[in-house]
Chain A
Amino acid sequence: MSDVILSIKDLKVNYGGIEAVKGISFDVEEGSIVTLIGANGAGKSSTLRTIAGLVKPAAGKIVFRGDDITNCDTNVIVRKGITLVPEGRRIFPDLTVLENLRVGAYLRNDDISGDIQWVYDLFPRLKERSWQAGGTLSGGEQQMLAVARALMCKPKLIMMDEPSLGLAPLVVRGIFDIIREINAQGVTVLLIEQNANMALKVADYAYVLETGRIGLSGTGKELLTNDDVKKAYLGS
């Protein structure tokens, strides 16, 4: 087994008086695809937002490649190599595709032309639309742009919050192909999904979140055949 790139210990997140995440612990191994599945309100998004530094945790510890990043600001965390593809895509609608990508590389001072070429090779569709405003893209293209934008800061770990949200099945398959492709190029992926079936198929390891706690965990294949998971998330 390879090294642990991200390690979460007893993470608790509160919104006002409401405990969204009630002490979860999990590890992400370098070079793997790890997925968190769970129903709405299970605390998946809160976990990712806390890792990204957008929300401060109430308790617990987040360690990334040996550094404690628990209370770091987002720009520090991004610089260390974690990026978040936010839920609902959230591309910049009035900026062109190229400008969106440039903002993704905002914290970098080195030459980015090679990486723009790299993401354009990953998403040829975006290259065609390079001068178009982000808001004029279709949903699937916007999701591609959101992933490409996150890749522009050369992350070690890319976190995706429901990349399949609101997309047609065929487009979803394309997005998951891309996730595999990115992973094959050496980027660790932490994925959140409602679409448990697809997520478990690509995942090396998976955790099931239930109302702020981790219920089950196992490899993707194990959970796909697990009866409880089948009943609750796969609908069969």
Chain B
Amino acid sequence: MDLRKDKKKDMLCTAVALAAMFIVLLVMELTMKSTSILFTVMKKGVIYALVAVSMNLLNGFTGLFSLGQAGFMLIGAYTYSILSMPVSVKMGESVYKYYDCAIGIELGIFPSLILAGVIAAVFAALIGLPVLRLKSDYLAIATLGFAEILRALFQWDAMGPVTNGANVLRQYKDLTKVKIPFTNIQFPPTLFCFLVSGICIAIIVLLINSSYGRAFKAIRDDEIAAEAMGINLFKHKEMSFVISSFFAGISGAMLAMFQYTVQAAQFKTAMTYEILLIVVIGGIGSVTGSCIASFLFIACNEWWLRFLDESSNNILGLNILRSGFRKVVFSIIIMIIVLFFSKGIMGDREFSWARIRAFFARFKKKAAASEGGEPNV
């Protein structure tokens, strides 16, 4: 009874916190300069949070060590930008300079976003058929390989009429083109990213807590026992792989919206490693960990550590700062995290109000004890 009451209270807390977050975001967007670095970090952070959570669904909850995330983001980004590009731009010379564009349709933002996920999921379903029969390291190698093949395929000259070859795609519907429904007013872009990512992450969390999620975790813990319980291993792995890729596709599409331009060369293996890093730092098997880590990672990468790259800054008269130094410091921070938080920031736990209440209760007790002058045993 008490537990159920707590659960209700927790849900209320979460709802209030989320509402507060969105209101704060809205106020910030209406009052602050939209070019502020803070918004850039928040937008990119929340996009990476989605792809990190989708990777965590696969690596952390289903126990499939897959490294194909960048490939599926690539599919999502391309699908979105090609579909949402106005027909006049496609037929013009400004983007498809060397090819005649073969896609004669233009879709709105939401259909394009969803199709970006669907196409990524279809590719994942096909790739999953052979690849998911492999285990551990071999699965990682195979998915990595497929991601690279996809990138090469999209850059291929023969694909030019669709993908514009190795050239840049632009002038599609980016974040500034999102309108508040039935009006012509621009939708606050950061809020838009938070809304789309938030909905997607909420769906993944619901999935993880459903009976399918339990089956995924059972497969992660012990494949043989899971199979003996009647869980069809291949079917569930494929399901997890396809769903994960769907959301990777959507986050790829949002990345395209955020960047204004898309080029296949960006979606290299290094990108998958960045996402893997976020998952590992946040904690394998923790959704909140992935979200926190992705904001930290993006903030460090784009903002907080940028000053290290400027050779005009001196520390103690030494001229050690130069472009690229940021990466050195960053690597050291990562090593420290891996050494001292070997399971990541959150381990496999999730954020919970109960723990916060417990923390404050302990804090209060301590304060009371020290006020009373009693020894703290």
With the chains together, A106 CA to B215 CA distance in Å? 8
With the chains together, A153 CA to B231 CA distance in Å? 12
The residue from B215, B218, B225, B230 contacting A78, defined by CB atoms under 8 A apart: B230
Give the size range of A's interface with the partner.
20 to 34
Closest to A73 in B: B232
The contact string, 1 if C-beta is below 8 Å from chain B, for chain A 126-167, is: 000000000000000000000001100100000000000000
The answer to whether B225 and A86 have CB atoms under 8 Å apart is yes
The answer to whether B230 and A79 have CB atoms under 8 Å apart is yes
With the chains together, A29 CA to B54 CA distance in Å? 49
What's the least CB distance linking B245 to chain A, in Å?
Answer: 24
Please report whether the interface of chain B is mostly helix, strand, loop or mixed according to DSSP: helix
- Report chain B residues within 8 Å CB of A84: 228
Give the size range of B's interface with the partner.
10 to 19
What's the least CB distance linking A135 to chain B, in Å?
Answer: 9
The answer to whether B214 and A95 have CB atoms under 8 Å apart is yes
The answer to whether B228 and A54 have CB atoms under 8 Å apart is yes
- Judge if A104 is at the interface, Cβ distance under 8 Å: yes
- Report chain B residues within 8 Å CB of A103: 214-215, 218, 226, 229, 231
Q: Which residue, of B221, B225, B229, has the highest number of chain A Cβ atoms within 10 A?
A: B229
Q: Which residue, of B226, B230, B285, has the highest number of chain A Cβ atoms within 10 A?
A: B230
**Contact A91 to B225, CB < 8 A, known contacts A106-B214, A106-B230:** yes
CB proximity to B under 8 Å, residues A61-110? 73-75, 77-79, 83-84, 86, 90-95, 99, 102-104, 106-107
A: residues with CB less than 8 A from B are: 52, 54, 73-75, 77-79, 83-84, 86, 90-95, 99, 102-104, 106-107, 149-150, 153
**Closest 10 CB pairs between A and B?**
A78-B230, A92-B221, A90-B225, A75-B230, A107-B230, A103-B218, A84-B228, A90-B222, A75-B232, A92-B218
Cβ contacts A to B, 14 pairs, < 8 Å: A52-B228, A75-B230, A75-B232, A77-B230, A92-B217, A92-B218, A92-B222, A92-B225, A93-B221, A106-B229, A106-B230, A106-B231, A149-B229, A150-B229
